[in-house]
Every structure is written in C-alpha cells, then in structure tokens.
Amino acid sequence: MILKAFRKPGVGALLLCDRKVVATAECSGEFEDEEIQRIAKEHDRICFIYGEDDVLSKDAWIELLAARLRRARKPRLPGDPTMSHQGQATEAAAPEDIEIEGQRFSDPFDIPADLSLKIQPEQYSLIFGIIQARYARLIRNALRKPGRRALLLCDRKVVATAEWADDFPLEEIRRIEREHDRVCFVYGSGDLVEESAWSAVRTDDAYPTIPVWLAPEDTPEPTWGQVGMALVADFDTGNPRRPSGLNAFDASLANSAGLFPGAHTIDKHLETFYRYSRTPALLGTEDEGGQRKAYKTVVRLVADWSLSPFVRANPRRRGFVGREIMFALGLRITLDPAARRTTIEFA
C-alpha cells in the first residue's frame, strides 16, 4: 500500500489512518494539525504520517509525532481551561507548545530574541522537530543550491547561508536576532567526513587517541592545563580542517570544563542527525616534555552523546578531535600501532 502510493508523481508523504492512505503531500510538513485531528475524529482512530524522504531527524520526528498523537487522542476544545500551578484557570497548552520563562510558543520562530539564552537544551529536540516538519520545503529548496550545507533561519526565512554550520559567527547570529527580534536557528545538512561508519572497535583493533584539555577561551596562559578539564579524545585525521566544530565533545563535560553552551545547531554526521551547541573554548595539548600549547576555537558540545553518531566506532569515547589541532598548534604526531600510543612534539 505504501509503496504503491509513493509511485505517484509528487507524493513524498502519506497520512495513514484506519489501514488506508487518507491523504498525500509532497513532504510531511504540509499536513496541518487541525486536518489530522479532524480525520482522527472522523475515523475514531489515530493517524500516522509516513515520509519517504524527510529531512527530519528520527528522534525529533518521534517526539513531534508523539505530541501530535496525544493531541489526536484528546483534541483540545477552544476555550477549554486547565488549572495553572497557582490554581488559576488558563487556556490549555498544546502538547507541542514550547514554554520559556512562563511564555508559550507554538512556533519556534515566534520566540523573541531576549529569550534566546533561556531555551533549555532539552527543548531543542522539539524545537528542531517543529521547524523541520513545518518548514521542510523551505529547508530542502535552500539546500539545493551548490555550496550550501548550512542555513541560518530566522523569522520563518533563510537569512544567511554558508558552506559549514560553524561559518556563522556567534556575534553575527546575535546581531540578526536583535535586528529581527526573533531567535535564530542554525541548520546543517551534514558533516563532510573521510571515513566509513564502523559498527564497533574489535579486540584486534584500536582507535588512535590524543590527550587534550578544554577550558574557557579567556583562560590565562599560566593556568593552562590546570583550569578546565583534561581527557583523552579519539583522534581522526580523516576529518577536514573545516568545520572546526568537528572537535566534538560530550555536552555533559561542559560544567567540568567551565564552558557555557552557545548557539544550538542541528547537523548530520554519518547520515545521522544530532544536536549540539557551538561553544567558544580553549583547546590544548602537551608534548612529552610537559610543554603546553593551546588555541581558541569553537567546539561542539553534543547533546545525548551516548545516542549520537560519534560513539558508533567507540562507545567509550567522550571526545572526538579532527586534524585542525595539528595545524593550529604545529604538532608532530607519531601514531605507533604496535604500542598503541600517540607521541606529540611541537614543531
């Protein structure tokens, strides 16, 4: 049934209900919530949306779909009150509304700029799910043009494009937010990597590592290596020097490293979507003699690290560093597979 429906020209998404295809669309974001509710009530059955080629990430879609299913089970009546925590009657919030500082928003693009830093990390899955579902056509059309791998979205428009998600300076994002008085969101179409997706590191295999430390970008040089957090990161020389954000770390390390998450982005690595915050940081290492060097960069603090594509090759890794560090610090790195050891010298 599904395959037959997709054979028709222009059909990229299906609305399924009561064992039938009840509606079709070019992409899943074209199905309106009110129409889904109407059909669900008409058939007295839950409706499901099936997209053939959505840009929507699986986790974000599941969360958004769950919210729509809850609404389909119990449609909200206009003016139906609910009790607030203060005991006053208020209008019932839609299950997929975003609540920030006591304010509710049904569309992320309605969030004012002054609430940009008030958005909680766990809210971004729902936010990006809504954006990808409702604005799938806008995103897909913008990414079709050559050289575009990242979009800056604001006020329901693509306000800037770039080759990489990390090409948007944080200061520029904040300027555009003030100009539109709306929160901006960065959307990336995927990292360019020169590797294959490993399912596991076998007992007869090992992933090269490099000792690094993370600290706030304004850390004074005399305290390098003492302030922040040291860890051993997997070292992948196959990754391109840009975007620098391919220096990716578990977001749960932020407090120990003294880092404050920056602008949030959704991107794709090894064909899997993940969420991260772009965070200015000092990234450093030390050589065999204990000499330390560091440089300022923007790292990716990845949410839900254990579910991200960065642990696919090595479930125990907490950080993932590309070859940018070699050029930034002038490193001579020796990888010794016999001893399974990395040696660092400064040029």
**pLDDT in single tens digits along all 347 residues of the chain:** 776 777 777 677 788 888 889 988 876 667 777 788 888 888 888 888 776 444 444 444 445 555 545 444 444 433 333 322 333 333 333 446 888 988 999 899 999 999 988 888 778 778 887 887 788 888 888 887 777 778 999 999 999 998 877 788 888 888 999 999 999 998 877 654 433 222 234 455 677 888 899 999 999 988 887 788 988 888 887 665 554 557 899 999 998 899 987 777 877 777 677 888 888 899 999 877 778 899 999 898 998 898 888 888 788 889 988 888 888 888 888 877 777 778 888 87
Is the domain of 128 the same as that of 225?
no
Residue 333 lies in a domain: yes
SS3 state at 169 = coil
Same domain, 223 and 338: yes
Of 126, 109, 114, 10, nearest to 63 by C-alpha is: 126
Same domain, 254 and 176: no
pLDDT at residue 88, as a whole number: 33
Per-residue confidence (pLDDT) for residue 260, from 0 to 100: 83
Tell me, yes or no, whether 276 lies in a domain.
yes
Residue 71 is assigned to a structural domain of this protein: no
Domain shared by 178 and 222, yes or no:
no
Residue 316 placed within a domain: yes
Same domain, 172 and 221: no
Q: Which domain holds residue 35?
A: 2-54
Pair (21, 142) in one structural domain = no
Contact between residue 90 and residue 81 where contact means Cβ atoms under 8 Å apart: yes
Residues 294 and 339 in one domain: yes
Q: Is 150 in the same domain as 257?
A: no
Residue 204 covered by a domain: no
| CATH number of residue 328's parent domain | 2.40.70.10
Give the per-residue pLDDT at 200: 33
HSE (CB half, 13 Å, CA atoms) of 57? 29
Cis? peptide before 216, omega within 30° of 0: no
The predicted structure's pLDDT at residue 92: 35
| Residue-level pLDDT at 261 | 76
Q: Angle 325-149-112 (CA atoms, 0-180°, nearest 5)?
A: 95
Q: Looking at the structure, tell me whether residues 172 and 273 fall in a common domain.
A: no
Among 125, 159, 188, the domain-final residue is: 188
Q: Quick check: is 75 in a domain?
A: no
Nearest Cα residue to 48 out of 63, 34, 68: 68
Number of domains, the chain: 3
Q: Rounded to the nearest 10 degrees, how much is the dihedral formed by the CA atoms of 229, 234, 237, 240? A: -70
0.85 cut: is pTM over it? no
Distant-in-sequence, close-in-space partners of 319: CB < 8 Å, separation ≥ 6: 212, 231, 232, 233, 234, 247, 248, 249, 250, 253
* 176 found inside a domain: yes
Q: Please check whether residues 220 and 296 belong to one and the same domain.
A: yes
Written as one letter, the residue type at 85 is H
Q: Is residue 96 assigned to a domain?
A: no
Same domain assignment for residues 226 and 293:
yes
320 plus 222 within the same structural domain: yes
At 183 the pLDDT is: 92
Phi-psi region of 20 (alpha: psi -120 to 50; beta: other; left: phi over 0): beta
SS3 of the chain: helix, strand, coil, percent, to 5: 30, 30, 40
